Every structure is written in C-alpha cells, then in structure tokens.
C-alpha cells in the first residue's frame, strides 16, 4: 500500500520530511518577499523627466514613491492574510498547490501595474492606470477565493476550525471581491476614490482579523 | 575516523545541523521563488511599441502576459515535481548537489527564453522563438533525468521507496524528455501546437503524480 | 471561545505551526537578503560615461563601488540589529507586524538612494545626494523606534528581558535617530563628514551590542 | 548577569530561538540563491548587436551564455563550500557575522564582473575583462580566508573538529587564494588559460571535499 508508506515517511525521525504546509509556506514567503523588494526597481531618477536640480528631480518622482508605498502596503497585508489563512490549514494537496499558485501569480504580477500607476498617476490617463491597478486586485481576490474554496472542498482546515469560522472566512473573501470590482469601476471616473477604497479595505482587513490572532503565552 | 565523527555530528542535539535534504531544498526553493518572481521584470510598457491610448498599449502587451503566465505555470509545476522528488530522498551527496545544480541552472535560465518568446510571439519569427523556448525544456528535462539517475546510482532514495516506484519515476522522466524533443521539432513548423503540447505535458504530470501524494492525517 | 481554540492550535504536534516570531523573521530575512543583493544591479558599465579603455571605465565607476559597499554594510548592520532585537521578542501581534513592515519598507527603499548617491557622488550635487541618502536613515531609524515602542507597549519582550534592558535599548534607538537627523543636516554642507558619521554610528552599534550576544556553549 | 540570562534564552522550549548558525545560514542561502538567479538579467537579446535572423542573434549571445554558466557554477561551488564550512561551526559571534558579510559582499558582486566578462569576451579587451573577473575571486577568497581565521580565533569550530582538520582547511583556503592571484596575473596575457585554471580549481575543490562529507545512514 503506497499511501500508508508515504504517511509513515512523515513519522521517520532521522531525516525530517517537508510535508504539511511548511514548504508551501516557505515558497510563498519567498515570492512575497521578492515581489515586495522588486518594487524599488521601478523608481529611477530618469523617470523624473524634468530639467533642474537634483531636488526637483527627486520631488518630481512623487507618483513613484506613492505607488511604491501603496503596493508595499498591499503586498504586506496580502502576506499577513495568507499567513493567517495557512495557519488554519493542516495539509496541502495538488489542487491547493495550484490555487496557491494562482494567488502567487497575482503577487508576482503586482510590480507591473505598480509601474503603470506610477508612470501615469499625475497624467491625463490616470483613470486608466488606476483601473488597471485596481483590476489586478479583482484577479488577486478571485485567486484567494479559489484558494479558500479549494481548501474547504478538500476538508483541509484543521479540526479546531469549526464550520461557522469557515463560513465567516469565505463570506469575508466574497465581500472583498465585490468591493474590488466596485473600486475598479469607480476608478474609471474617480481614480483617487478607488485608491482610497482599496486602502480602506486593507485597513479593515487588518482590524477584523486581529481578534482571532493566537495569543502565544 | 573522520567519517564517523561527521555522522555523529548529525545526532548532536544542542546545535541542529543542516544535513539530509533540508538545506538543498531551502536553496532550491529560493531559486524557484526568485526565478518565478523575476519573470515580471520582462513586462514593460515600452515593449508595447504602439501609438495610442494607455488601454491600447496595455492590450498590445498580450504576448508578454501570455509568456509570463505560461512560464509561471511551468516553473510552478517544476517546483512541485522537484518537491515530490526530493521528499523521496533520504540524503544528498556531492554528485546529487551538482545534478541538482544543473536543474537549477535550467530554472534560472527560464526568464530569458520567456523574454524571447514574448518579444516574437506575434511576429514573423514566432517559430524560432517557440523552438528556443521549447529547447530550454529539453535541457531542463535532461537535467532532471540526470538528477534522478544520480540519486538512484548513489542509492539515496528512502528505504520505503521500492524498486518498482523508482523504475516508474525514471521511465516517466525519460518519456517526458522525448516529448519535449518532439515539441521542439514541431515548434519549427507549428509553434502553437508545440506550446499546447508543453501545457498538456504539465497538466498530465500534475495528474499522474497526484495519486502517491502523502495523506497527512 | 475562539481565542483558546487558536491558542491550542499552537500546541498541536503533528503539523508544526508557524507562530511566535519564526515566520516574521523568515520573511524579514528574505527581504534583507534580496535588498542587499539587488544593490549590484545599479552598477553598470554604461554609467562610467567615459571614453577610453575598459580599465578606465572600470575605474571611473568608483562612486558606484563605494555606494555599493556602503549600503551593503548598512543593510548588514541593520540585519544584525533586527536579528538582535527579534531574539528578545517572544511573539508578534498585528501592530508589531505593521511596524516591522515599516522597517522593511525602509530596507527595500535603500537601493534607490544608493543609486542616487552613486550617480552624484563625484558631481556638483553631491551634497543633495548625500542628504537624500542620509535622510533615508532618519526614516529607517524612525521605523525601528516605532517597532521597539510597539513591542514594548504590547509587552512582547521575553520575560528574561528586564525593564532596565528595555529602557537601554529604547534610549539607544532614540540617540541613533538624533544622530541620523544631525548627519542629514551636516550632509548639506559637508557630505563626506555626514557619510563618515553614518559609518561611525554603525561601527559603534556593532561594538556596544557585542557584549550581550548569547554565549552558546 | 546579562550573559547568563541570554544563554538561558536559548534553552526555552516554547518559542524556538534563532541561534547558533541557523539564521546566518538562512540569510547566506538567500543571498546565494538571489545572486545566482540575478545572473540571467544580464542576458538580453539587444546585447547581440547583430543584424539578421533571430537564430543569428541568439547564437551571437554565446559569450553571455558562457559567462552565465561559468558564474552559476562558481556561485554553486561557493555555496557548497560555505555549506561545508558552516556545518563544522557550532555558533557565531559578531566578528564571524562581519567576516561572513565580507564573503557575501563578494557573492553579491559577482553579477557585475560577469556582465563585464560577457560584454568583452569576444572583443579586443578580453584580457582586461577576464583579469577583472578573476580579480573578484581574489577578493572573494580573501573574504573566505578571513572567515575561517575568525572562526578559528574565536574557537567556534565544533568540538568534533580536531586541530589537524582545521589546519588542513586553512591551508586549503590559503593555497586557493594563491592560485586565484596567479590566475588574475595570467589573465592579462592568456585570458582563456586563466578561466580554465578557475574552473579546474573549483572541480578540484568539489573532489577533495567530497571525502569528509557526512554519510547519513
């Protein structure tokens, strides 16, 4: 019986096996850490495109600083949300690895819409750039909804996580998805409002997830 | 006796030793995570090369999005395959480290053929670009075949992994290699068919390896 | 009671949970390692901007080597300081994760002021570039002060860390902040003096923190 | 007594402490993995600089492929050597962290001389480029000699590592340093011979260190 042999592998003590969620978390952490650090490569003095002193050039880069800080914050909150989700999970299977891959695809994509946002924030096509930026979060939220649905379907949540908590998590992810769709549409007419909605959603997420955080003694 | 001293080191409890496959897995995971995240650096608005609105420019980048998603998927499946292989291994030696290095050389190389693919997918030399892209997988599959052969020769598979499983794994890797060679030749006359074959192989790999995945209770 | 369920999760033995400070340290280590390695991308032969032999070009890049080594040293000392701080911490909560995020925002930003410094070190606007570079450390030191304050307020230092040690740590971080502000102002009139002050502070930090380093037997 | 308190921290079981060599190894592994993956960013189709078909362009990039594979191999062997060294070490202190930082400075620098090598390998200034490339290894070997000397002076080798082994390791590093100096000088008159010497040294290092590798049962 192959399956029981494999299950037994996990209990061998001499050479520890990477199993459960540890290696997928390590890989995901790596992707989050790299994506967040690559953001800086989009800030370049040549982008300032102004004549004058170095101070003038550094100040003219404000849309790049803004987009950098905003996307840094977005990736950080996404990392925390991923962290909070995965600690409720007891193991992974192939579908979960793939759904997690979709979530990571979104994370690695973020530097590109960030660069588009930075290049057009003060210009005539700001609404297009912001809509593209916000649309990325619609895709990302879809990937996270898929991840939660996949974990639920395979019954991979820890036994301590009761059905009500799972329902609450899934409803939260669905609501967030709806807000991101709305923000993308709003971006077409009021880009700054759309960005403010995105920041507000993240601040709210940080707040409501604070309660169930584990109290390590 | 130096060897027994070293072997004893592994059992010291005070300061844990990085031994077995843990550090090679951590290093490999790092390379996979970075390679997959660097892919986004190839998508740049300047590559659109069209006059018109920002939307037109963003749409004109479709070959870059396509190549990005395709290579992301390829690296993700390769990471899963590497993961599945290494958990059957009880320890590494120098030849395994070198063969694993060849596999990682392939992974770190992927962003370049991806950029070539993206730049030529809609153009006159699409077949050349796709053949170069597919040829990379021939090299990569060769490296993975070498890795499996090296592990087998040094008898580093875990005792629970029986000879039949090892034969099945090796045959699987050889078949995949043959398909990649065929896809590279097909790319010269029918590039999209070659790309479809590559996607199909990965989907199949995900499927057939799903069965022996460990069932953590 | 949700909280006690979660707290119990931490004690499950079958699948180890990432809790306490281990995952935040791993994520931070990743960001530090990537930021320090991305510095090299700013050194390019084209930046030499001189006619003549390859040796002449390589020598003309001295401001880039200087800025590279300086920022490498700064990030290394910051990593050691972060390491020393986090090992005194028993757990993290949401505010600590956010304050640590601010510290990492600073770390990921460093490659940009480094590039500005390298491009202007030998030029007419060296004082502006150095002031911008030093100003980054004011922000970074502010983030670290916030991190220490957040850890203190939430009483997340280990029980073995007594109140006097905490006071000493906090005072040290406040003094460092003041010196960085002073160095930034000095940079406007004497850029090399400001850089020397920054190096001296780091050397001093390495020295005074050397004493309480753990003596692993 | 502050010191004993800290030493006691290390024995707390509830929240594992990053101590000994684990966190410095994790950070170093990250730097190695990133540096090796960044090498690919230097290969760009624009560097081919030739008219003609895509195949012609891809073939004209041979110096870039060569430099990529060579530096990948160098970093891989350096990682293995670092790995082999650190597993003989029981703990780190501040001087070891700094000496290790010098070794990592060398590793992060490698992509730049690699780019210089690739751009000039087939040109008139190949000898200058190769000498610069080889000179980097002189610096790197110096850093590793410093690291070994620092570990020895602080008596941080594991008790199982006897004085004779330490002497053999130190002598090996000194000999390697001398060879790298010679290779750099040879590069000025015979660049390909210098590159061959560098490859031979790494192959030899892999061979002679193979014997004492731990035999995990």
- N- to C-terminal Cα separation, chain C: 43
Closest CA to C17 of B204, A86, B115: A86
For residue A208, name the pLDDT band (cuts at 50, 70, 90).
low
pLDDT, position A50: 63
Q: Which tens digits make up the pLDDT trace of D107-162?
A: 999 999 999 999 999 888 999 999 999 999 999 999 999 999 999 998 888 888 88
Contact: B19, D68; criterion CB under 8 Å: no
Contact A58, C132 (CB under 8 A): yes
Q: What is the pTM of this model?
A: 0.86
> What is this model's ipTM?
0.83
pLDDT, position C17: 32
Nearest-by-Cβ selection for A15 from D14, D34, D216: D216
Q: Over 70: is that where the pLDDT of C16 sits?
A: no
**Cβ pairs bridging B and C (under 8 Å):** 7
CA dihedral D74, D79, D83, D84 (to 10 degrees): 0
Can you tell me the distance from the alpha carbon of A203 to that of A200, in angstroms, rounded to the nearest whole number?
A: 5
Q: Determine the distance from the C-alpha atom of residue D192 to the mean position of all C-alpha atoms in its chain, rounded to a whole number.
A: 21
pLDDT, position C136: 96
Q: Which residues of B, range 100-159, sit inside 8 Å of A by Cβ?
A: 158
pLDDT, position D2: 34
Q: Which tens digits make up the pLDDT trace of D149-185?
A: 999 998 888 888 888 889 989 999 999 999 999 999 9
Mean pLDDT (chain B, rounded): 84
Nearest-by-Cβ selection for A94 from B34, B79, B213: B213
pLDDT, position A47: 73
In this prediction, residues C144-152 reach a mean pLDDT of 94
Residue entry with tokens 């490339």: D133
pLDDT, position A10: 36
**Nearest 5°: CA angle at B33, between B32 and B34?**
95
For residue A6, name the pLDDT band (cuts at 50, 70, 90).
very low
Q: From the CA of C132, how many Å to the nearest CA of chain D? A: 24
- Taking CB atoms and an 8 Å cutoff, what residues of chain B touch D21? 15
Q: Over 70: is that where the pLDDT of A39 sits?
A: yes
For residue D209, name the pLDDT band (cuts at 50, 70, 90).
low
- C161 DSSP β-pair partners: none
Q: Over 80: is that where the pLDDT of B165 sits?
A: yes
- Taking CB atoms and an 8 Å cutoff, what residues of chain B touch D36? 31, 104, 108
D136-175 residues labelled b (16+ CB within 10 A) or e (exposed): bbbebbbbbbbbbebbeebebbbeebeeeebeebeebbee
Q: Over 60: is that where the pLDDT of D211 sits?
A: no
pLDDT, position A11: 34
pLDDT, position C147: 95
Contact: C12, A37; criterion CB under 8 Å: no
pLDDT, position B78: 94
- Taking CB atoms and an 8 Å cutoff, what residues of chain C touch D101? 72-73, 76
Q: B100: exposed, middle or buried (C-beta count within 10 Å: 0-12, 13-18, 19+)?
A: buried
B188 part of contact set with chain D, CB < 8 Å: no
């Amino acid at each position: 019986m192959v399956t029981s042999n494999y299950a037994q592998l996990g209990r061998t003590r001499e050479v520890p096996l990477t199993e459960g969620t540890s290696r997928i978390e390590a890989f995901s952490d790596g992707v989050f850490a790299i994506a967040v650090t690559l953001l800086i490569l989009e800030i370049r003095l040549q982008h300032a495109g102004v004549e004058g002193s170095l101070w003038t050039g550094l100040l003219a880069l404000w849309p790049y600083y803004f987009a950098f800080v905003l996307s840094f914050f977005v990736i950080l909150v996404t990392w925390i949300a991923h962290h909070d989700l995965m600690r409720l999970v007891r193991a992974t299977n192939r579908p979960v690895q793939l759904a997690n891959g979709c979530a990571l695809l979104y994370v690695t994509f973020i530097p590109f819409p960030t660069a588009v946002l930075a290049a057009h924030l003060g210009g005539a096509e700001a609404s297009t750039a912001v809509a593209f930026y916000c649309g990325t979060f619609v895709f990302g939220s879809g990937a996270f909804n898929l991840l939660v649905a996949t974990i639920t379907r395979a019954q991979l949540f820890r036994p301590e996580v009761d059905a009500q908590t799972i329902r609450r998590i899934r409803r939260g992810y669905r609501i967030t998805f709806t807000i991101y769709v709305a923000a993308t549409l709003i971006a077409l007419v009021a880009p700054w409002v759309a960005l403010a909605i995105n920041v507000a959603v993240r601040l709210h997420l940080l707040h409501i997830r604070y309660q169930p955080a584990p109290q390590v003694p």
